[in-house]
Amino acid sequence: MSITAPALTAEQLKTVLQHALDQHAHKEGNLLPLLHSIQDQLRYIPAAIVPLLSAAINRSRAEIHGVISFYTHFRTHPPAPVLLELCRAESCQARGANGLIAQVKEQLGCDFHQTSADGQVSLEPVYCLGLCSQGPAAMINGNPVAHLNLQTLNQQLQEKGAQS
């Protein structure tokens, strides 16, 4: 399931892009920081901003699309209200993450890079949160949570407004 976001106006896109450029224009090799800034502001990178970015930094649209599609962190569609990123790094796996991931996928009825049937939770993999001794770990809307099991994760999701 994909979430439909309200269409952004050209003026809104220009404002988002200008904010990103103000932060990173002085940096060499600034494409990745610019894309991160755009996604941080909008929670995804809309296709309509790519031509504006292309013109602003004198890079081809193909190059920008290539970077967006190469890195799995970048989203081209808005996530659900709750973005759940489950750690798949080796230390979290050693602490039971694979079992938790299977339970979460079953409960949400979706796989990684998908959204739950109720449209409330987008599920994404992440490959290290730096909470290695506290796994399994996750990020919920950008906030790290550790020592997870299905019960504690459900409590965290309910606090963020998602139904479990």
**At 109, which amino acid appears?**
G
The strand pair at 121-126 and 82-87 is best described as: parallel
Q: Is 98 exposed, middle or buried (0-12, 13-18, 19+ CB in 10 A)?
A: middle
43-86 pLDDT per residue, tens: 999 999 999 999 999 999 999 999 999 988 898 988 899 999 99
Q: How large is the average pLDDT for residues 132-143? A: 92
Q: In terms of residue numbers, what domain contains 95?
A: 82-160
Looking at the structure, tell me whether residues 64 and 88 fall in a common domain. Answer: no
Q: Is 20 a domain residue?
A: yes
Please check whether residue 39 is in contact with residue 5, taking contact to mean a CB–CB distance below 8 angstroms.
Answer: no
pLDDT at 7: 79
What mean pLDDT comes out for the span 97-101? 95
Q: Does 90 score more than 50 pLDDT?
A: yes
What confidence score (pLDDT) does residue 164 get?
A: 46
Q: Which of 30, 45, 70 is the last residue of a domain?
A: 70
Residues 107 and 51 in one domain: no
Share of the chain above pLDDT 70, in %: 94
Tokens found for residue 108: 């949400």
* Single pTM value for the model: 0.75
| Across 103-110, average pLDDT | 95
Query: Can you give the pLDDT at residue 163?
Result: 52
Q: Is residue 137 part of a domain?
A: yes
What H or E segment, with its residue span, contains residue 162? none
- What average pLDDT does this structure show over 122-137? 92
Token pair for 100: 């938790």
Mark whether 149 and 93 lie in a shared domain.
yes
Are 88 and 153 members of one domain?
yes
C-alpha to C-alpha distance for 160 and 141, rounded to whole angstroms: 8
What is the count of structural domains for the chain? 2
Q: How far apart are CA 88 and CA 124, in angstroms?
A: 10
Residue entry with tokens 């269409």: 7
Any binding-site annotation on 128? yes
Q: Which of 70, 100, 115 is the last residue of a domain?
A: 70
| Whole-number pLDDT of residue 158 | 86
pLDDT of 1 over the 60 cut:
no
How far apart CA 48 and CA 8 sit, in angstroms, is 9
Would you say 110 is a known binding-site residue? Answer: no
